[in-house]
């Protein structure tokens, strides 16, 4: 000490070394990071739960988004601080892993950061805090698994309840009776469709797509854990349903990209429906008098253009003879007519044409010929849609007119353009050998509602998918958090030294969820959480906050159930981020 203070002037010890000895910088960096991250967490806190508030976000290009979804709020927030960005990414990670609980995960992380700060103030080393928190998180997951109830995928009631719970906290909650069954039916249909085949064969055709960076988690399969039965919860598992049995042993992967949500402004959310077949948001082209309805359709998915070819380079041809001009026009006419005739010859009567950026996908003249040949035309099918469309229709995309043969066509009973409450869509039904996909037509009065409805439906789909990944449910409404918090606090008493402190702090931090649920519902958080704690201490494991009645009740009677995976992954991911933030002690800019 004496040398450190006395020496610098005399011996010229570098300033950096001196700064390091004071240990101020690591602490400052850590605290600044924590404050930034906590600010993000505070921003979404009010959105938690069924009585949570919604956010109105204006994007850089002037669009307005109204949402309650944590991941969406954070994605749109212009967060600059690198530590705060970690919370944004945390929410995205939860979105990929579980799909729901994206607000909870950030709120938990914020609360854990507060707890860590208290521990730092006590003089506990960050590494010890980080390690203890991770151990506590592992214990918390254990406790959660203990109180979970195994669920059978045949038990649609339970799946519905879980989907309903996730929709309850959304803006579109009054439509949960419409959206929840759609979510359950969509996922279970994929499940049953993939059943007869071997798991390996169903996965193989899509293998190239799994190289997508976001996809591994979406595709992730996990052998179902048959968690121990919980005495507290009471999910009924009826025996022997008429559907194909879904065995609990075999891992099944549900890829949400197999479920297509087609959005159309018009009508209300009530009109949202699951379509047996394929829905295209593009309209049929009738300007040239072609048909808009086709029975016994033979459908081709066409990737080439039905318009006159263009040279690679921009060049000008000056024609000063009208006979030459005539010849050029005739040539073009002949070229297109030949193409259309070839199409007709293959037996095709419905043409889906991919959007083209080079030239017109189909020009007026070609449309005229196609109309004469009684071929229904839908153009501007997006490049990204082609794979889904082909898989659903069981068709092969055709990239060249020379390859236009009958074996590449798909067969459907009906292709029809329908108008539903102002929304015009093309529906293809009665598809022969239909692929394992599901189409959902989402409708809404305006684009703000429609987009939120789609996001909410996505959350509900994720919840059902979570149950496929990990077949267990737990009660919601703050019950699991209080249960874990109580057990962790008990466990902390058996520990020694700083770890005991950290475990208690972690336990206390988890109470942020019931506290926030109560706060957002306009209840007294201290009174509610105290009562909740008492009820749990008396052995009521499923006592939760009934936000509707404003009191503590058995939350299972309210049908508030959520997948175990949502809660466990929220705790794990939040702890991981906090540990990471705690271990950062310096901040450098790179050139």
Ligand X SMILES: Nc1ncnc2c1ncn2[C@@H]1O[C@H](COP(=O)(O)OP(=O)(O)OP(=O)(O)O)[C@@H](O)[C@H]1O
Q: 18 φ, ψ to 5°?
A: -65, -45
Inter-CA distances, 87 with 92, 99, 356, 577, Å: 9, 16, 40, 8
Query: Cα(416)–Cα(426) distance, rounded to whole angstroms?
Result: 6
150 is a contact residue toward ligand X (CB under 6 A): no
- Residue 98 or 423 having the CB closest to Mg ion: 98
101 is a contact residue toward ligand X (CB under 6 A): yes
Site string for Mg ion, 44-83 (x = CB under 5 A): ----------------------------------------
545 binds, among ligand X, Mg ion, none (CB under 5 to 8 A by kind): ligand X
Query: Cα(443)–Cα(266) distance, rounded to whole angstroms?
Result: 6
Residue number closest to ligand X, CB atom: 476
Whether 517 contacts 477, CB under 8 Å: yes
SS3 state at 510:
helix
452 is a contact residue toward Mg ion (CB under 5 A): no
- Our CA angle for 380, 383, 386, nearest 5°, is 95
Taking residue 173's Cβ as centre, other Cβ atoms within 10 Å add up to: 16
103 is a contact residue toward ligand X (CB under 6 A): yes
Distance of closest approach, residue 1 Cβ to Mg ion, in angstroms: 54
547 binds, among Mg ion, ligand X, none (CB under 5 to 8 A by kind): ligand X
50 is a contact residue toward ligand X (CB under 6 A): yes
**Count of residues touching ligand X (by CB under 6 A):** 27
568 is a contact residue toward Mg ion (CB under 5 A): no
Distance of closest approach, residue 456 Cβ to Mg ion, in angstroms: 9
Stretch that binds Mg ion, among 29-37, 131-139, 165-173, 377-385 (CB under 5 A): 165-173
For ligand X, which residue of 148, 165, 392, 568 counts as binding (CB under 6 A)?
165
525 is a contact residue toward ligand X (CB under 6 A): no
DSSP for 53-103? --EEEE-TTS-EEEE--HHHHHHHS---SHHHHHHHHHHHHHHHHTSS-HH
For Mg ion, which residue of 68, 148, 166, 515 counts as binding (CB under 5 A)?
166
For ligand X, which residue of 159, 230, 261, 513 counts as binding (CB under 6 A)?
513
117 is a contact residue toward Mg ion (CB under 5 A): no
435 is a contact residue toward ligand X (CB under 6 A): no
SS3 state at 250:
coil
100 is a contact residue toward Mg ion (CB under 5 A): yes
Q: Could you tell me which residues come within 8 angstroms of residue 47 by beta carbon, excluding any fewer than 6 positions away?
A: 53, 54, 55, 68, 70, 73, 103
- Residue 67 or 307 having the CB closest to Mg ion: 67
Q: 104 φ, ψ to 5°?
A: -55, -45
563 binds, among ligand X, Mg ion, none (CB under 5 to 8 A by kind): none
Which helix (H) or strand (E) is 428 found in, with range?
strand 423-431
70 is a contact residue toward ligand X (CB under 6 A): yes
- Residue 290 or 525 having the CB closest to ligand X: 525
Could you tell me the maximum CA-CA distance found in the chain, to the nearest angstrom?
104
Which helix (H) or strand (E) is 130 found in, with range?
helix 126-147
CA 528 from centroid of its chain's CA atoms:
32
569 is a contact residue toward ligand X (CB under 6 A): no
Q: Which of residues 463-482 bind ligand X (CB under 6 A)?
A: 476-477
- Residue 95 or 416 having the CB closest to Mg ion: 95
Distance of closest approach, residue 73 Cβ to ligand X, in angstroms: 8
417 is a contact residue toward ligand X (CB under 6 A): no
Stretch that binds Mg ion, among 100-108, 152-160, 282-290, 366-374 (CB under 5 A): 100-108
149 is a contact residue toward ligand X (CB under 6 A): no
Q: Where are the beta strands (DSSP E) in 197-313?
A: 259-265, 273-275, 277-280, 293-302
95 is a contact residue toward Mg ion (CB under 5 A): no
477 binds, among ligand X, Mg ion, none (CB under 5 to 8 A by kind): ligand X
Helix ranges restricted to H, 373-521: 383-393, 447-469, 479-493, 497-510, 512-520
Query: Cα(228)–Cα(145) distance, rounded to whole angstroms?
Result: 8
Stretch that binds ligand X, among 65-73, 219-227, 503-511, 530-538 (CB under 6 A): 65-73
560 binds, among ligand X, Mg ion, none (CB under 5 to 8 A by kind): ligand X
Q: Indicate the burial class of 198 (C-beta count within 10 angstroms; 0-12, 13-18, 19 or more).
A: exposed
- Residue 464 or 560 having the CB closest to ligand X: 560
Whether 149 contacts 140, CB under 8 Å: no
For ligand X, which residue of 545, 552, 578, 581 counts as binding (CB under 6 A)?
545
Distance of closest approach, residue 157 Cβ to ligand X, in angstroms: 17
- Residue 166 or 439 having the CB closest to ligand X: 166
User: Which of these, 159, 156, 187, lies nearest to 257 by C-alpha position?
Assistant: 187
Residues in the chain: 591
Residue 9 token pair: 């002037």
CA atoms within 13 A on the CB side of 478: 33
Inter-CA distances, 27 with 5, 16, 19, 472, 505, Å: 21, 16, 12, 42, 20
Binding residues for ligand X, rule: CB under 6 A, are 47-50, 52, 68-71, 100-104, 165, 168-169, 459, 476-477, 513, 517, 545, 547, 558, 560, 562
Binding residues for Mg ion, rule: CB under 5 A, are 100, 166, 169
């Amino acid at each position: 000490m004496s040398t450190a203070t006395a020496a610098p002037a005399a011996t010229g010890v570098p300033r950096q070394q001196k700064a390091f000895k004071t240990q101020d910088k690591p602490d400052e960096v850590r605290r600044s990071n924590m404050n930034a991250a906590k600010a993000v967490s505070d921003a979404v806190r009010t959105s938690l739960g069924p009585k949570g508030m919604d956010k109105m976000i204006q994007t850089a290009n002037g669009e307005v988004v109204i949402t309650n979804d944590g991941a969406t709020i954070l994605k749109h927030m212009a967060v600059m601080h690198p530590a705060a960005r970690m919370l944004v990414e945390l929410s995205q990670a939860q979105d990929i892993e579980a799909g729901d609980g994206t607000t909870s995960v950030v709120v938990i992380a914020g609360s854990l950061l507060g707890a860590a700060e208290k521990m730092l103030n006590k003089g506990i080393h960050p590494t010890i805090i980080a390690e203890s928190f991770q151990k506590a998180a592992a214990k918390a997951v254990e406790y959660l698994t203990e109180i979970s109830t195994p669920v059978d995928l045949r038990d649609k009631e339970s799946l519905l309840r879980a989907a309903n719970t996730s929709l309850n906290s959304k803006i579109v909650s009054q439509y949960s009776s419409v959206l929840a069954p759609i979510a359950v039916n969509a996922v279970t249909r994929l499940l049953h469709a993939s059943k007869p085949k071997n798991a390996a064969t169903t996965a193989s055709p899509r293998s190239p797509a799994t190289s997508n960076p976001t996809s591994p988690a979406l595709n992730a399969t996990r052998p179902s854990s048959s968690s121990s039965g919980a005495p507290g919860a009471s999910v009924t598992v009826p025996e022997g349903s008429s559907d194909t049995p879904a065995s609990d042993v075999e891992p099944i992967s549900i890829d949400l990209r197999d479920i297509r949500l087609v959005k159309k402004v018009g009508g209300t959310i009530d009109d949202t429906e699951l379509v047996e077949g394929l829905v295209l948001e593009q309209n049929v082209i009738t300007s040239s008098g072609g048909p808009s309805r086709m029975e016994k359709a033979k459908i081709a998915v066409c990737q080439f253009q039905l318009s006159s070819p263009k040279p690679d380079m921009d060049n000008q041809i000056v024609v000063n003879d009208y006979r030459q001009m005539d010849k050029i026009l005739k040539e073009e006419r002949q070229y297109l007519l030949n193409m259309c005739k070839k199409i007709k010859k293959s037996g095709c009567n419905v043409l889906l044409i991919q959007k083209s950026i080079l030239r017109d996908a189909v020009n007026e003249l070609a449309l005229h010929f196609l109309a004469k040949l009684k071929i229904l035309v839908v153009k501007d099918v997006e490049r990204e849609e082609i794979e889904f469309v082909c898989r659903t229709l069981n068709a092969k995309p055709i990239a060249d007119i020379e390859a236009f043969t009958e074996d590449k066509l798909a067969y459907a009973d009906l292709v029809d353009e329908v108008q539903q409450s102002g929304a015009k869509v093309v529906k293809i039904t009665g598809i022969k050998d239909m692929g394992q996909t599901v189409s959902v037509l989402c409708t809404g009065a305006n684009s703000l509602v429609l987009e939120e409805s789609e996001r909410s439906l996505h959350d509900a789909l994720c919840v059902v998918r979570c149950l496929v990944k990990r077949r267990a449910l737990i009660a919601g409404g703050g019950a699991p958090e209080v249960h874990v918090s109580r057990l962790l606090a008990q466990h902390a008493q058996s520990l020694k030294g700083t770890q005991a402190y950290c475990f208690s702090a972690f336990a206390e931090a988890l109470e942020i969820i019931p506290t926030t649920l109560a706060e957002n519902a306009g209840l007294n958080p201290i009174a509610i959480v105290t009562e909740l704690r008492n009820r749990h201490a008396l052995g009521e494991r499923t006592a939760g906050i009934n936000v509707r009645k404003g009191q503590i009740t058995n939350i299972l009677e309210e049908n508030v159930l959520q997948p175990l995976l949502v809660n466990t992954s929220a705790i794990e991911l939040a702890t991981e981020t906090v540990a990471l933030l705690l271990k950062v002690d310096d901040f450098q800019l790179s050139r």
